[in-house]
Amino acid sequence: MTRIHPPSHVDVLIAGGGPVGGALALMLADAGLSVAVAEARSAPGQDARALALAYASRVALDRLGTWPAQAATAIHTVHVSQQDGFGRVKLDRADLDLPALGYVMPYHALASCIHQRLLATDATRSGVHYLPGTAVTRLNSLDGYAAVELTQAGSPALVTARLVVLADGGRLLGEAGIAQHTEPYDQLALVAEVVADRPHHAVAYERFAHDGPIALLPIADAADQAAGAGRYAVVWTRPASDPLNIAALDDAAFLAALQARVGERAGLLLAAGPRASFPLALRWAEAHHGRRIAVVGNAAQTLHPVAGQGFNLGLRDAEALARMIRAVPPGEIGSSAMLERYEASRRRDSVTTIGFTDGLIRLFNCRAAPIRHARGAGLVAIGQIDPLRRGFAQRMVFGTR
């Protein structure tokens, strides 16, 4: 790999060049600022996860020229229900008069698109210096600037910045003096792809089963469509000590267990792809900023995947921070006043989205009959009362404003 020498001083240094950090850099391009993006990986990994992107996220990414349209599958309707319980909600794009509520996209497709866009960015014209294969190994925040030690191909370099943005999943929060809280869910997320015997018609399903929520997210596949079938990305939340040992079941047993929980609204499940699982926990930074530090994306909060809000919330972090940076003179970038405004702008959306996602898990984990009936009544109310349904859809697509 050809070594890319970083500048010795920048206005903004972004630690982490994934989809959120990379998007933030592109939001700052051509603003007359110097921006460096340090990404430890030389290229995006082959991450098999599917991202659920709200329509608002598509608009933001499209504006940056980083929307890989061929990899996106539109979601027109979201169907929410609970196993062996009454009540359901159908959110439809018509509720908000949008072309789609959201989209399903492989993480790798979006990460690769942003990576290629950054590689093609002319630092001389845009001010953005992309440094793939460069790790942030040390961070020291001072009153007037932050000093960052980078390592690239074993060689260290020191860069100073008016502002350092942590978009690296929280690895550097401790060095920034920002506490991170972790609350394990004692759950695993099992991910796979399945094929059903009928087209998905751009419908996503959220099923709250007795032993964990299940999301079926539509995936466009020309061969499946030609055969009259539908493909879904499955995100199935399981207990950490899984009594069914779902990950080890053969395909027939796996499909039978999944079918028993989701019913036949999506059709009969015919085939399953490889499965993978990862542990789930709620993590959140105590603050969105520190001295000369701003925090975005998974460094600010890592959510349960039940509502598909994690990336969308992180991208809204990046949009808000980019607005704050562009609104002040270069000399005020990273100042306490600017960072306090950023913190205030993100507090409500972050707290509300974390609370909503965490509350869903706790509400639907309770199997007591009175709670189950109350859940059903709530689903009926949201499904039948137009302002409630539209408000729920609005929050899912645009967050809390």
Give pLDDT, residue 285: 97
The three-state secondary structure class of 251 is helix
| Arithmetic mean of pLDDT, 271-277 | 94
Confidence of residue 3 (pLDDT cuts 50, 70, 90): low
Determine the pLDDT at residue 289.
Answer: 97
Least-confidence region, from 23-27, 31-35, 46-50, 86-90: 46-50
Q: Are 25 and 132 in contact (CB under 8 A)?
A: no
The average pLDDT across 325-345 equals 98
Query: Topology of 9-46+109-181+283-359 in CATH?
Result: FAD/NAD(P)-binding domain (3.50.50)
Write down the pLDDT at residue 390. 92
In the predicted model, what is the mean pLDDT of residues 306-332? Answer: 96
Angstrom CA distances, 268 to 78, 237, 246, 258, 263, stand at 19, 21, 19, 10, 8
Q: Which residues contact 8 (CB under 8 A, 6 or more apart)?
A: 158, 159, 160
What's the confidence (pLDDT) of residue 325? 98
Closest CA to 50 of 212, 242, 236: 236
State residue 2's pLDDT score: 56
Other residues' Cβ atoms within 10 Å of the Cβ of residue 282? 17
Please give the Cα distance from 335 to 209 (Å, whole number).
48
The model's confidence at residue 223, banded by pLDDT at 50, 70 and 90, is: confident
Q: Evaluate whether 51 touches 217 at the Cβ level (below 8 Å).
A: no
Residue 125 pLDDT > 60, yes or no? yes
Mean pLDDT of 261-290: 95
In this prediction, residue 160 carries a pLDDT of: 98
Mean pLDDT, rounded, for 304-322:
95
Q: Quick one: pLDDT at residue 362?
A: 84
Q: Tens digit of pLDDT for each residue in 142-160?
A: 999 999 999 998 899 999 9
- Domain extents in the chain: 9-46+109-181+283-359
**Token pair of 272 as six digits:** 């399953």
The yes-or-no verdict on residue 323 having pLDDT over 80 is: yes
pLDDT at 148: 97
Closest by CA to 305, choosing from 92, 49, 21, is 49
Closest CA to 313 of 326, 295, 327, 335: 295
Counting Cβ atoms within 10 Å, is residue 2 exposed (0-12), middle (13-18) or buried (19+)?
Answer: exposed
Average pLDDT, rounded, for the chain: 93
What's the rounded Cα separation, in Å, for the pair 219 and 194? 10
